[in-house]
Amino acid sequence: MRIMIADDEVIIRTGLASVINWSEMGIELLAPAASAEEALERIESERPDILLTDIQMNGKNGLQLAEEARLTLPNLEVIILSGYDDFIYAQQAIRQNVSDYLLKTSRPEEIIKTVLKVKQRVEERRTSQSRELAYSREHRNGLLKRCIVDGEKLSAEAESELSSIAEAAGLVGPGKQAIVSSVSAAGWGGLQTEQSLLLFSVDNLLADLLSCIRFVHKNKVIMVTTREGGFGDKRQLRMTMDKMERLLKCQLTVITGKPVTSPEQWHESYATVLEASRYEALLPHKHWDYSDIEHRKGGKAVCTSEEEKELSCRLLDNDLIGLKTWVQRYIQQLLDDTEATPESFEAAVQSVAIAAHRWLDRVLVAIGREREAAGVIEPYQYKPDTRPFDSLFQHLHAVMKLYHHRFAEGKTAHVQRAIAYIEESLGRDFGLQQVAEHVRLHPNHLSELFKKELGMKFVDYVTQRKMERAARILTTSPAKIADIAAMVGYEDVKYFGQMFKKHTGKTPSEYREQGSSDKGQDSE
């Protein structure tokens, strides 16, 4: 709290300044003024709370000073100090709402008592104003929340109040469009107190930089601006964001809704903000609006068979770097899809996790350990509020690690890993050399292990598995014989037919016909 002394008598003003310990009273003493004119020049910039002035001075007197000073500071408390015990002066002082009237002959303790009484009045008024301001702000923010966030049907009185708020902020008028935005901030730490302080700072700075109305809701500032000159203007948006981030040393995310023409439509604009906010994981920048995403119909939702094959190779090879590269490429492809929606993106990510589990099931069946895998690994849980690359890669890594560290070890580990590799490679041409490289054994040693563990040569096992798969496809799919041959790694369909008949005693066509006949008999 500040006090200014104004008196043209140097002895009086310096005496009042030095005799009384103002700081002990919790009051800052400003430099005394030698005249009413000097006091008036300084009042606007120094803004005292209390003015202690002589009533009789050369030039303007103390009552004139009080009257003019209150034009600048309406709440200024004035204490008149006079050497004249004159009732006329006292009456005039009362008419001008002077706080108190003292004689120059008053003892210091009387002056102190009077000043403390006035100080208390200032503090009580401030407290009252603070309460009123807080109530007014709370009432206003509550009204805005009911209109914008809740979409509540307002009473006629509330609608009139909302219109007044909108008009005062310059948000309505001929040709004007308003737009609702949400502003979130990060960078001051993870504590709730730090986040609240940052949001408070963002809220205040927005009020200084833009003509807007705003309120804090769920760790975001919800704001309404005009489309032109507000956050509907992308150039203005970038400039304002850059300035705020530079001043507050934080990172901002701004999402704007579609423009509307009246306060009754602000909730509609806010609903589009919510819709656009669902795309945060899909968009690389930190500010976007509803128009950036409203056209999207849904992008890729399932990984292709080729992608699944490549993924299987990475998992089977225990290739951590290759797996990370594959996931990065796959996620980036989804993010680059201009039709992607949160639903299609999630489905596409989930399909990769499902493909990894299918791979694990296949290889465990191939090595005869499928029963051991029940409940060993939890299904992938997609979390839209986390980085999709991190969570997907960690899950795939867990699947890969589970197989190689738990199921592909032991006395028969080399053969089991070879069998798993063979299962994943039946659709292409490969030989003993490739499989041996995969399991890190010499081809001759792997061949000997196959004879010992499975009782047959490597090449015979591979051919048997290819024919078993071809037989299954023949009885479950209408695919052409040539296509089925390609599916199990044979380019020459004639040679495939010969091998198939050698192993089953029937040509592929005969086998298919018998399969169809058997199904018909089973259904009778």
Residue with tokens 């040693």: 445
Q: Are residues 287 and 326 in the same domain?
A: no
Helices (H) and strands (E) in the chain, counts: 20, 10
* CATH number for the domain that contains residue 497: 1.10.10.60
Q: Which helix (H) or strand (E) holds 15?
A: helix 10-19
E strands, 158-296, where?
A: 178-186, 212-217, 220-226, 251-256, 287-289
In degrees, rounded to 5, the angle at the alpha carbon of residue 219 between the alpha carbons of residues 215 and 225 is 35
Handedness of CA 498, 503, 506, 512 (dihedral sign): negative
Percent of the chain whose predicted confidence (pLDDT) is above 90: 35
Could you tell me the strand order of the sheet in which 178-186 lies? 212-217, 220-226, 178-186, 251-256, 287-289
| 266, pLDDT greater than 90 | yes
Q: Are residues 182 and 157 in the same domain?
A: yes
What letter represents residue 217's amino acid?
H
Contact 429, 418 (CB under 8 A): no
E strands, 361-442, where?
A: none
Q: Are residues 153 and 255 in the same domain?
A: yes
Instruction: Name the β-bridge partners of 170.
Output: none
Mean pLDDT for the chain overall: 86
In degrees, rounded to 5, the angle at the alpha carbon of residue 184 between the alpha carbons of residues 179 and 186 is 155
* Pair type for strands 50-54 and 28-29: unpaired
Q: Are residues 153 and 288 in the same domain?
A: yes
* CATH number for the domain that contains residue 286: 3.30.70.270
| 88, pLDDT greater than 70 | no
Comparing CA positions, the residue from 397, 392, 403, 395 lying closest to residue 321 is 397
E strands, 367-497, where?
A: none
Q: Are residues 117 and 157 in the same domain?
A: no
Query: Contacts for 207-210 with beta carbons within 8 Å, 24 or more apart?
Result: 209/240, 209/243, 209/244, 210/240
pLDDT value of residue 412: 57
pLDDT value of residue 168: 84
Of 255, 270, 292, which marks where a domain is finished? 292
Choice between 87 and 507, residue whose per-residue pLDDT is larger: 507
Stretch 233-256: mean pLDDT: 88
Choice between 309 and 349, residue whose per-residue pLDDT is larger: 349
Q: Which of 303-317, 325-339, 371-385 has the highest mean pLDDT?
A: 325-339
Contacts of 413 (CB under 8 A, 6+ apart): none
Could you read off the pLDDT of 353-364 as tens digits, one per residue? 999 998 888 888
Residue 408 binned pLDDT confidence (cut-offs 50, 70, 90)? low
Q: Are residues 177 and 278 in the same domain?
A: yes
Contact 470, 427 (CB under 8 A): no
Residue 166 lies in a domain: yes
Stretch 391-417: mean pLDDT: 80
**What is the full DSSP assignment across 184-218?**
EEE-S-SSHHHHHHHHHHHHHHHHHHSSEEEEEET
Residue 477 lies in a domain: yes
Q: Are residues 78 and 162 in the same domain?
A: no
Residue 244 lies in a domain: yes
| 428, pLDDT greater than 90 | no
Q: Which helix (H) or strand (E) holds 446?
A: helix 443-454
Comparing CA positions, the residue from 482, 424, 429, 493 lying closest to residue 459 is 429
pLDDT value of residue 149: 93
Residue 421 lies in a domain: no
Residue 479 lies in a domain: yes
pLDDT value of residue 92: 65
Residue 505: give the domain boundaries: 460-523
pLDDT value of residue 324: 93
Residue 390 binned pLDDT confidence (cut-offs 50, 70, 90)? confident
* CATH number for the domain that contains residue 40: 3.40.50.2300
Q: Worst-scoring range by mean pLDDT, 167-176, 274-283, 371-380? A: 371-380
Contact 6, 35 (CB under 8 A): yes
Comparing CA positions, the residue from 65, 265, 257, 16 lying closest to residue 151 is 265
Task: Please report, to the nearest 10 degrees, the dihedral formed by the alpha carbons of residues 334, 335, 337, 340 taken in order.
Answer: 80
Could you read off the pLDDT of 124-143 as tens digits, one per residue? 888 777 676 656 778 888 88
Q: Are residues 314 and 277 in the same domain?
A: no
Q: Are residues 288 and 315 in the same domain?
A: no
What letter represents residue 486's amino acid?
A
Contact 484, 474 (CB under 8 A): yes
Choice between 233 and 6, residue whose per-residue pLDDT is larger: 6
Residue 523 binned pLDDT confidence (cut-offs 50, 70, 90)? very low
Contacts of 367 (CB under 8 A, 6+ apart): 407, 408, 416, 419, 420
Q: Are residues 331 and 386 in the same domain?
A: yes
pLDDT value of residue 232: 63
Stretch 251-265: mean pLDDT: 92
Q: Worst-scoring range by mean pLDDT, 35-39, 220-224, 514-518? A: 514-518
Choice between 7 and 410, residue whose per-residue pLDDT is larger: 7
Residue 217 lies in a domain: yes
Q: Are residues 288 and 170 in the same domain?
A: yes
Comparing CA positions, the residue from 114, 77, 110 lying closest to residue 96 is 77
Number of domains making up the chain: 4
Q: Are residues 217 and 186 in the same domain?
A: yes
Residue 140 lies in a domain: no
| 93, pLDDT greater than 70 | no
Residue 36 lies in a domain: yes
Could you read off the pLDDT of 114-127 as tens digits, one per residue? 999 999 888 888 87
